[in-house]
């Protein structure tokens, strides 16, 4: 999953998007992303990709809003979010 973290970083860095990468002993990675006034959490776990929009009205959950099995599907979703810049 580490190689996918590098791919995510390559998508974010050119746009100077603030992000933080977290790794856990379980092998799970999380990427926190701040786009304008919105906060997203990306989760990489069990060969899956998850993404959640975190808002004040919704408690943070370890279960992603959307889950993808294939990188290309996840990448398309992330790029849709990045287009809002």
Q: Which tens digit of pLDDT belongs to each residue from 5-22?
A: 999 999 999 889 999 999
HEC profile of 2-30? HHHHHHHHHHHHHHCCEEEEEECCCCCEE
Give the whole-angstrom CA distance, residue 38 versus residue 28.
23
Q: Which tens digit of pLDDT belongs to each residue from 12-63?
A: 998 899 999 999 999 999 999 998 888 999 999 999 999 999 887 666 667 8
Model's pTM, two decimal places? Answer: 0.87
């Amino acid at each position: 999953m580490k190689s996918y973290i590098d791919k995510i970083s390559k998508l974010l860095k050119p746009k100077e998007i603030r992000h933080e990468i977290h790794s856990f002993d379980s092998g799970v990675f999380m990427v926190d992303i701040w786009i304008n006034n919105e906060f997203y959490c990306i989760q990489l776990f069990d060969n899956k990709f998850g993404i959640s929009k975190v808002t004040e009205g919704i408690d943070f959950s370890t279960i992603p809003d959307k889950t993808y099995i294939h990188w290309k599907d996840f990448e398309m979703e992330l790029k849709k979010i990045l287009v809002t810049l």
